[in-house]
Structure 1
Amino acid sequence: MEKRRIAVAMSGGVDSSLTAALLQEQGHEVVGITMELSDCSAGAIKDARIVADFLGIPHHVANFRALFQEKVIDYFLNEYAAGRTPNPCVACNPNVKFGGLLQQAAELGCDYLATGHYARVHYNEATGRYNISKGTDGSKDQAYALYRLRQEQLAHVMTPLGGWVKTDTRAEAAKRSLPVANKPESQEICFVPDDYKEYLLQHRPELKQPGDIVDTSGRVLGRHEGIAFYTIGQRKGLGIAAEKPLYVVGLDAAHNQVIAGDNQEVFGKGIVVESLNWVAIPELREPMEAGVKIRYGAGEAEAVLVPQADGTVQVEFAAPQRAITPGQSAVFYIGSDVLGGGIIRSAIK
């Protein structure tokens, strides 16, 4: 590859730091950029700047507080208020990291934005489309979180760690004496310091709205503190004495009800998926077999994708899936490639 001017999204962690070091060693002109998203960003900015100084590369801070508030935090809070369980990283990637940050990289004269994701972005000459494929490290399939990226974004994205495993990343970072080589993994939700329930109460106290816990026939079993504080598949914390274990099987925001049922009722045979984005193909025109992940970290389930007239996709699983959660992303795979994905609207029981 010819030498390029490349911006690296530096989070202050070991992955993005090694990414910057590798690209520099390959002879590219590397520029570090760190996103300022909230008050929690101070540590990331500090560590990224230390690494940039160590490597001798310029470092910029991009203030995306307002964009992050609108596209990620407000979305996060609104989804919980609606009885859905969001994935904030899925919202952040196309709008902030590969939206605002990619634009910032272009303004700095960079050809590409590189990240430390364990996924592979590559051009498929046969289809004329950019593909996202799973990384080599099966325990860190971050291709899932990138499925909403558009073709025009993927054309300017690099993921040098796609062929790496995490243990090698740490070893190579230590070999280069990178200051963050032994830094622990970052927390799951970057803007939630501790418990997400405390965060919801702090920012949306009105979500603490008690209501009924009912069974699937509508019979009242007990009381809840607010539907935002419950998730599909949850067993603990219901406070109901019953002959058999009860789980959260649904959240009804319209009636402010938590729906409880037995373990069998936690399973669904399919899902309806909306807000779709296609990666490996322009669109889905006819039924297709694919592997489907219904949440980050879940295994792939065999399924058939059936396009619907209203623009949604109905996913029919070969075997029932547990704890299907509206608001989470369903990502479709063909082999190691991301076919596309969308947001789960509802489960099909």
Structure 2
Amino acid sequence: MEGKLFRQLRKERGLSMQELANEWNSVAFISKFEKGNTNISFKRFEQLLNGINVTMEEFLYLRSQAEEQSVYNYLSDHPFYLSGKFVAYLDQIFHCNHLANKSGDFAKGQEEMRQLEKAIAQETNWGKFLGILCQLLVLNYQVNEEGKAGKTVDLDHLFKQSHTLSAPIVSYLYKIDNWGVFEVMLFRFFQFSFPVETTRQLLRTAVARTKKQEGLQAMQGMRFELLFGTCTTFINFQKLSWAQEVLKEAEELLYDQGDLLNSSKLLFYQGWLKIASGSVEMGKQKCDQALSIFRILQQPEMQQEYSDLFSTILKNREEPNNCLVFA
């Protein structure tokens, strides 16, 4: 596949094999590579791509498109491509989660999530980890089903189960010193299930890594998702000063950046924190302002998503033991 795509890109740029040949790659070698008759080292491949002015990232993206792989629409507000099977499976998990939450059919969501768990390779660490994520989401679907049936949710038992399930991920993250995209994603999507003190401790590492690798699109997008996601967790557990800290950091990062959508989200979360702190009317006003901005920016799906979240927040204020808020 790589050789065939490379040949196509070379010809589109009007370049001959003779023009690309150098001390690393002879004409004979390039010909064999394009026909799929030889393997190639990373260094030699990098040299060939430099010769046709194509970056490695662009090549991987084009290869994914040729193989009819989709960009990842359910991991972020801004769809992106990133090589790696674990990212593709994560996207499938959250596609399933999106459908379950949108339809409210949590019984069907449990069935589909269990099927997805079986499809994930269990012989790798990431496969085992993503299997645990499926189990955590099934647990949350069960709680939602109980809530719909009018049953009182035993929150202490729920949190204990979540902490037990996510313990291997916590151990792994503490063990790794130099986090990459994989580790940041693990934190991003599992933090809701960690003990809240653990979430706060690991958040510093996650945010620092997104800053260090901010040239990666996936890291850029996750930075605010980390902050807003942990803000939700801290409000759920009444750690309001911690929530204020992360919103302050988001405010500093957004200053003069022209990022209207994340700035509007920040306004919404500031309103939510006001409501949780007891300044209900002021908080409602901020949330309503954010929803109005989404409407002005012609973002109907986001407006609906945050409108639903707003309703849940108000319900949570009235029934704190029967209505959890996750975002």
TM-score normalised to structure 2 length: 0.26
Q: Counting helix residues as a fraction of each chain, which structure ranks higher?
A: 2
Structure with more of its chain in strand, by fraction: 1
TM norm structure 1: 0.25
